Amino acid sequence: MLTTMPDVVGLCAAVLVGGVVVWAGATKVVAGSSWSDGVTSTGIPRWVFIPLPFLEVVIGALTAVRLWVPVIPLVLAGLLIVFTAWILVSMRSDDVPTCACFGSTSKKPVGWRHVVRNSVLIAFAGTAAFV
């Protein structure tokens, strides 16, 4: 039962970040090979990107429904930190890949807007873990 303002804030943060990550994973699943073909060109190993959408859906859903707090939101924050690190490294290359963060719906090259977006999502995941 939500009895205090921190409970409400934690729930809102969990639903927001969990929902965004479920959406990201679901759009990759729906995009299927069009998403995975685009990711292949980035050099990410197949064994990493094939289970990724399903992992995102599960971790996002568990975060949104507040199961295993603070472990699951911290796992989600860790995943977002890895994504952000990959974006930062990719931005330094001569051939900057497009963002496939939301399946085939996102086609812009990775950039600072993605770093900022992920930083905000990391903050929400931290809030979901500790508030």
Question: Per residue in 2-53, pLDDT tens?
Answer: 678 889 999 999 999 999 999 999 999 999 888 787 777 778 888 988 999 9
- Please, what is the end-to-end C-alpha distance for the chain in angstroms? 14
What are the residue boundaries of the structural domains of the chain, listed by start? 5-130
Cβ neighbours of residue 85 under 8 Å, at least 6 residues apart?
none
Tokens of 28: 């990759």
Cα–Cα dist 104/30, whole Å: 9
Distances in Å between the Cα of 23 and the Cα atoms of 54, 90, 95, 103, 123 are 11, 23, 27, 9, 18
Question: Per residue in 47-94, pLDDT tens?
Answer: 988 999 999 999 999 999 999 999 999 999 999 999 999 999 999 988
The pTM of the full predicted model, rounded to 2 decimals, is 0.93
Cα–Cα dist 88/128, whole Å: 25
